[in-house]
Structure 1
């Protein structure tokens, strides 16, 4: 009898090991495709921004598999593998921070930046202006704006603060909407530089006419939809590269990517405000879902040799499908 049982026992053990390995590998890829260089590939390009829902799904599968283990113990290793993958996915999210955030009082030399996708110029204009005024924003990035919309928001800010606002604007490829960069006169006079205009959906760059103010950019890259994956990857990388190579840079906008996507694997001195201040995994899109379950695709980036983020806050934008990101940057040293 013992000799008859060994083959069955060995075959069962091998089957369990193979099945557990397959489950563990699959769960690891689903939970952290960026670890395997797959975050820019279908279908993971669309799942990696939603780490919390993915992590919760893996956790649910772990529980169900564990319950079957009460009867068939061979499923317990698979349940453990699923639980570890869920913990890894959720742990990465928690490490980046999911709180709404807070912004400390401004000091002399600080620069405050507001990124607000205004949803095809449908967001409430007074509400957007109020976000800038209440946040003491020196720089405002308005993706999906029109020139008229940007001018109107700038006028409302000027009326509320008594300080002039320069408006720089670039049309999107369809010539209907674009991205606006609003710069308070508190930073001095600026001029458009025309950088990043080749092959990027809508990016506005500006530099101080004199002095040592920050070089600024408002950005909106292509979305990672099926027909635009190659342009999307190139545009996100171009924006991140600009941040890395531009001394004193401050950039904000809708980058349609998270820090897990290969284009936003920041290098050089470029840093992300949310990652530095605890809002790096607070969802900014879609606004109709809880922020904890959303994708963090609106960002503020900077040259970390010149600036450090001292606070950030994710806020609702009346009438938009995005949430706004307010970040405050302080000179290094």
Structure 2
């Protein structure tokens, strides 16, 4: 009887680990518990390794040897599979290549409202020569302060903010765009998901003269129990924005590559027609949230996407700002027009 129950438990654990290792196999990548577990794939891998070591010690006890051995094999295979996925996605942290006249640099940082000092944001933006600065959760006053510091350093930026007022709770997303990219017009939003994300706002900018990339600073709601439907709709809306030819989207997606599996259209695409900078530069396994965990254990939920008219040349996940006040790490991405690569 004990052997039967042990075998049944081993099979159940194996099935659960298979689901969270490759959720698209079962079509479960956008269910709440699967999305939340797979987001922490690095931590999941570490837990499987720890369980494997523990089971090897338990296997010393003769009556438990068979059960412990079977479970150890399951943990070994799960750790191997998840570790392989992480290695494929990459932990590359090489510096960005030098900017050129044609390159565009994007900085994305969920600032947790006003938790991060504007001078800190401006310094990173200036040091990385950022042309686009996406700041989910940052109010207009914060964006203006960042832009003021950048202008004083010789890099003028336009500031655009989208604000939602839902049930008395005000949320905002701000994006700064270098004047060297030209003038931009902010799209109107009704906050109903057909023109924006549903719960927390995104900013959509179109080039005023029709030449240049559409720029979107994104913020999808987190996949909590009461928000699952809105989260799925947010991701679908963001994917739809990538149907245009020339689009750059940066921000907090509250989703990993696992959650958006199957949403890409075309070779290498991960979100609509857009490609993911992290995957293209082998940095996609580095977690951007939460800052209390090392990057290799965290969730890569902040992204920069672009359509195939752009080639990514480098990406950095900045762990040096883990004490800056936000629970998200900033990321910087450099890209060049595909014809110039």
Give the TM-score normalised by the residue count of structure 2. 0.86
Contact 2:89 2:284 in 1 (8 A): yes
Show the counterpart of 2:331.
Answer: 325
What does residue range 302-317 of structure 1 map to in structure 2 within 5 Å?
302-304=306-308, 306-315=309-318, 316-317=320-321
Show the counterpart of 1:86.
Answer: 79
Shift of 1:211: 5.6
Gaps of 5+ in 1: 1-10
More moved, 132-141 vs 280-289: 280-289
Shift of 1:12: 9.1
Task: Report SS of the residue matched to 1:218.
Answer: strand
Show the counterpart of 2:130.
Answer: 137
Shift of 1:45: 2.2
Q: CA 1:29 to 1:196, structure 2 compared with 1: closer, same or farther past 3 Å?
A: farther
Once residues 160 and 35 of structure 1 are traced to their aligned partners in structure 2, the CA distance between those partners, rounded to angstroms, is: 51
Show the counterpart of 2:157.
Answer: 165
Shift of 1:194: 3.1
Name which of 149, 153, 157 aligns with 1:156.
149
The answer to whether residue 298 in structure 2 is matched with residue 294 in structure 1 is yes
Show the counterpart of 2:288.
Answer: 284
Once residues 96 and 279 of structure 2 are traced to their aligned partners in structure 1, the CA distance between those partners, rounded to angstroms, is: 14
Cα deviation, 1:5-49, whole Å, max 9, x if unaligned, reads xxxxxx998777655433422332244434322232232222111
More moved, 151-160 vs 35-44: 35-44
What does residue range 222-233 of structure 1 map to in structure 2 within 5 Å?
222-233=221-232
Show the counterpart of 1:183.
Answer: 177
Once residues 37 and 328 of structure 1 are traced to their aligned partners in structure 2, the CA distance between those partners, rounded to angstroms, is: 33
Once residues 275 and 160 of structure 1 are traced to their aligned partners in structure 2, the CA distance between those partners, rounded to angstroms, is: 33
Shift of 1:270: 1.1
The answer to whether residue 51 in structure 2 is matched with residue 48 in structure 1 is no
Gaps of 5+ in 2: 267-272
Once residues 315 and 99 of structure 2 are traced to their aligned partners in structure 1, the CA distance between those partners, rounded to angstroms, is: 12
The answer to whether residue 261 in structure 2 is matched with residue 257 in structure 1 is no
Shift of 1:331: 0.7
Shift of 1:147: 1.1
Name which of 38, 41, 47 aligns with 1:57.
47
Show the counterpart of 1:69.
Answer: 59
Task: Report SS of the residue matched to 1:145.
Answer: coil
Q: CA 1:212 to 1:87, structure 2 compared with 1: closer, same or farther past 3 Å?
A: same
More moved, 109-118 vs 63-72: 63-72
Contact 2:171 2:201 in 1 (8 A): no
Cα deviation, 1:213-236, whole Å, max 9, x if unaligned, reads 111110111111221111011102
Contact 1:309 1:329 in 2 (8 A): yes
Name which of 100, 105, 114 aligns with 2:93.
100
Q: How many equivalent residue pairs?
A: 320
Cα deviation, 1:246-281, whole Å, max 9, x if unaligned, reads 211001001111111147843343101011112211
Name which of 105, 113, 126 aligns with 1:120.
113
Task: Report SS of the residue matched to 2:293.
Answer: coil
Contact 1:237 1:264 in 2 (8 A): no
Q: CA 1:122 to 1:73, structure 2 compared with 1: closer, same or farther past 3 Å?
A: closer
Contact 1:273 1:309 in 2 (8 A): yes
More moved, 167-176 vs 87-96: 167-176
More moved, 28-37 vs 212-221: 28-37
